[in-house]
Structure 1
Amino acid sequence: MQTLTQLINGELSGATTIKISEGLDTFPGQLFELTDTLEYLDLSSNKLTTLPDDFSKFKKLKVFFASDNCFTVFPSILGRCDNLQIIGFKSNLITHIPNDSLHPNLRWLILTNNQISSLPASIGECSKLEKLMLAGNKLTALPKELADCGSLALLRIAANHLTKLPEWLVSMPGLAWLAFSGNNMINQIKGESFATVNIDQFQLRQLLGEGASGTIFKATSIDVNNQDEVAIKIFKGSVTSDGFPEDELQTYLAAGHHPSIVKLKSVTELDDQGKKGLVMELIPPHFYNLGKPPTLNTCTRDVFDKGFKLTDQQLFEIATSMASVGAHLHERGIIHGDLYAHNVLVDDAGKTLFGDFGAASSYDKRDLALAFHLERIEVKAFGFLLDDLLSLCSADISAFDELCKLRNLCLSENQHLRPGFNEILTELTLLRSS
């Protein structure tokens, strides 16, 4: 992170990346001295309300973040920034998006946690848009023009005021990751009953990780007769990029037991205001994340450590386990919404554990058309996972060509050509035994 003083003193001359967070209430004019070099600008956590009319002078700017500011209107000038591909205005006060503010070159638009009630029809002109984050707004409907965004792969519309998912939306050919919990939709979800325990019954130890919805700690029960080590996820309590923590909890409860889903042991009360957390089994230390989250460059695709490889045994073990999880969840009317390698934990034998229900949503299984489309959306995500697995293996592994055919079916633009998870599971089992 740089400082305003450095900028004013000319110490940042020629910079390609700038991040300044100092409670600014006006745009620093000195930044215009970097119009020939600046590619990444982050002015998050300030008090900005507007951008200058000549902001489009930043001809090389590709990434602009202005989260946690005070904008009430999405700046129209951004629609004239030809090279700008990634824009983030999370946690502002935006109520209006002008029709001319969205450039067709946009790939990733983050508008989480604002007060937006409608999207402009011009969003349909964003043919390169891959990732759209709209959780925590006031949307009551989606414009039909969104269907023209043929590259859209990931959509977050949780925690809004939607009453249904349009058929044109759930049948979009590129969509692979969808989160829509926390809306006014009918669902038939019913979670299992779990004992509720007080957080005071545990001693929190080391931090294991932190995600959008909460923080995970290693913990030990203070009961001298039962000092098993567990993992406790403490929800942050506010809307996240995926939705409400309460919906994550309810969907996790409804997921039930599966050998490849991280086991939920109990629900814990955090305070007298009803905030909750999850007590989960502690994952053995020899497990590791299969992949790493997408970067700004890859947008919707995971990345992997250089030189990381899988054996055919590991590939089949992971693919079969994840197909089984997919079948298990959709039989219960749950779309996970975040089926990614970076959410998959594996060991050297390929044993697989899966969790993180932050983007999970429930749906009415009695609506057969909706159930079909939502499962095929998740199957596309599985197709990308299988593509990742194949890229990490040698092309001479057993049944490589057949696995490529299965991958291609899962990634088909035509949802009706994609198999269901039970069909995928059957095919993988046959290929593995052949």
Structure 2
Amino acid sequence: MDTLAQLRAGQLSGITRLDLACGLTEFPREIFDLADSLEVLNLTGNALSCLPDDLHRLTRLRVLFCSDNQFTELPACLGQCAALTMVGFKANRIETVPAAALPPLLRWLILTDNCIEALPTELGERPHLQKLMLAGNHLQRLPDSLRHCHRLELIRIAANRLTELPEWLLTLPSLTWLAYAGNPLETEADAAALEATPSIPWSELHLEQQLGEGASGVIHRATWQRPGLPAMPVAIKLYKGEMTSDGSPLHEMNACITAGIHPNLIRVEGRIVGHPHDQVGLVMQLLDPSYRNLAALPSLASCTRDVYANDTRFSAGVALRIASGIASVAEHLHRHGITHGDLYGHNILWNEQGDCLLGDFGAASFHATTDNLESRALQRIEVRAFGVLLGELLERIDSGLSDEGRGQLEDLQLRCCQADVLARPGFSEIVRELNGW
């Protein structure tokens, strides 16, 4: 983290990224001294409510983060920033998004956890728009102009006030990751599955070391001491209860429970009750440490694409085992009326044998289990996500795949990603194809 003192002393000359979180109430004019080099400006965690009208003087600025501040309107000056592609104003008090605030090269817009009731028509006139984060607002509809955003791949509209998904949304040729839980339009979770989940008293759990932390909660290793039974090592996830970019953590918990049992899912043992601070959480299967993440999260540059380590390589057998496992669990979820919404390599745990587990249900949404046009389209959107994953696996196979076999898998990948949403295969067909190998 940089300091205001360093900035004012001229010690940051030539930097390309500036991070300032020091209770700012006004934009430091000294930032303009960095105009010849500054590309990423992070002012998250201050008390700002406006930006200078001449912000466009930062001619190289590509990325601006102003989350956790006090803005009530997305600043109109952003629209004059010719190089700006990524704008992040999560967790402010924004009610208004003026058309003038949308930069011409906008690719990635984060307005999660604000008070926005409507978006300008001009949002659909940003042809580079690829990632749109709108969870936790007051939206009752989306601008119809977004139908023209043919590059839009990821949209988060969970926890708003939408009563229906517009038909055009389900036909967008590039849409791949969609989260809409917590809107009036959403089908309810399976109440019977929720009620049947065992309750596990907090007093039976002995917390050990932290294993990880995400936007929705913290995961610990723990020991579960059931009366009259041997102690059992488990993992517990305690949910934070805050709005995330995907939506509400409580919806995530319900989706984890409703998903049920499958070899490629982390098993849920039960729901925690009696936490001293009324925190909600799940007790889950403790995984063998040989499991690791398939990929890392997308970067600022990759936007919607995972980042793989340079040395990530698979044999054909391992890659196909991963692909088959993920296709199988996706088919299982769709049968239960769940779309995962975040089917990505970074949410897949795997080991050297190709065993894999799909995790992180933060973007999961419920849909009708009956076969209709909407449920079919929602499922085929997720098929595109699988197609992206399959392509990433194919790029990294280093042995055991014939030219004919590669051609067949590349054909499947292309069919999964084709622009005509309803022409894509369903997961039952994909599973059959992969099992034929």
Compute the displacement of 1:41 (Å).
Answer: 0.5
Aligned equivalent of 1:402, options 408, 411, 415: 408
Q: What is residue 234 of structure 2 aligned with on the other side?
A: 230
1: CA distance, partners of 2:358 / 2:250: 19
Q: What is residue 185 of structure 2 aligned with on the other side?
A: 185
CA distances 1:279-302 after superposition (whole Å, capped 9, x unpaired): 110010111111111111101011
Aligned equivalent of 1:333, options 301, 325, 337: 337
CA distances 1:253-302 after superposition (whole Å, capped 9, x unpaired): 11111111110000002647754101110010111111111111101011
Q: Residue type of the partner of 1:376?
A: R
2: CA distance, partners of 1:417 / 1:171: 11
Q: What is residue 9 of structure 2 aligned with on the other side?
A: 9
Matches within 5 A, 1:20-419: 20-191=20-191, 192=193, 193-223=196-226, 225-269=229-273, 271=275, 275-366=279-370, 368-394=372-398, 397-398=401-402, 399-419=405-425
In structure 2, the CA distance between the partners of 1:56 and 1:122, relative to structure 1 (3 Å rule), is same
Q: Residue type of the partner of 1:35?
A: A
In structure 2, the CA distance between the partners of 1:358 and 1:270, relative to structure 1 (3 Å rule), is farther
2: CA distance, partners of 1:318 / 1:73: 45
Contact 2:43–2:66 at 8 Å: present in 1 too? yes
CA distances 1:79-108 after superposition (whole Å, capped 9, x unpaired): 111111111100000000001111231111
In structure 2, the CA distance between the partners of 1:270 and 1:26, relative to structure 1 (3 Å rule), is farther
Contact 1:130–1:151 at 8 Å: present in 2 too? yes
CA distances 1:14-67 after superposition (whole Å, capped 9, x unpaired): 111100100000000100111111011000000000000100111001111000
In structure 2, the CA distance between the partners of 1:229 and 1:273, relative to structure 1 (3 Å rule), is closer
2: CA distance, partners of 1:31 / 1:351: 50
2: CA distance, partners of 1:307 / 1:270: 46
138-147 vs 386-395, which moves further: 386-395
Contact 1:188–1:365 at 8 Å: present in 2 too? no
Contact 2:18–2:42 at 8 Å: present in 1 too? yes
Q: Residue type of the partner of 2:51?
A: L
2: CA distance, partners of 1:214 / 1:345: 18
2: CA distance, partners of 1:236 / 1:89: 20
2: CA distance, partners of 1:294 / 1:200: 39
Q: What is residue 427 of structure 1 aligned with on the other side?
A: 433
1: CA distance, partners of 2:281 / 2:372: 33
223-232 vs 37-46, which moves further: 223-232
Contact 2:21–2:44 at 8 Å: present in 1 too? yes
245-254 vs 172-181, which moves further: 245-254
2: CA distance, partners of 1:177 / 1:186: 16
Contact 1:188–1:362 at 8 Å: present in 2 too? yes
25-34 vs 197-206, which moves further: 197-206
CA distances 1:150-185 after superposition (whole Å, capped 9, x unpaired): 111011000111111111111111100000001112
The residue matched to 1:234 in structure 2 has which SS? strand
2: CA distance, partners of 1:270 / 1:211: 23
Compute the displacement of 1:394 (Å).
Answer: 3.0
1: CA distance, partners of 2:302 / 2:237: 29
In structure 2, the CA distance between the partners of 1:186 and 1:207, relative to structure 1 (3 Å rule), is closer
Q: Residue type of the partner of 2:351?
A: D
30-39 vs 185-194, which moves further: 185-194
Contact 1:107–1:128 at 8 Å: present in 2 too? yes
Contact 1:270–1:277 at 8 Å: present in 2 too? no
The residue matched to 1:100 in structure 2 has which SS? helix
Q: Residue type of the partner of 1:333?
A: G
CA distances 1:169-216 after superposition (whole Å, capped 9, x unpaired): 111111000000011124153152111122232111111111111111
Let me know the Cα RMSD of the aligned residues: 1.4
Where does structure 1 differ by over 3 angstroms across 4 or more consecutive aligned residues? 222-225, 270-275
Contact 1:383–1:407 at 8 Å: present in 2 too? yes
Q: Residue type of the partner of 1:276?
A: V
Give the alignment's TM-score, normalised by structure 2.
0.96
| Structure 2: gaps spanning 5 or more residues | none
2: CA distance, partners of 1:257 / 1:317: 19
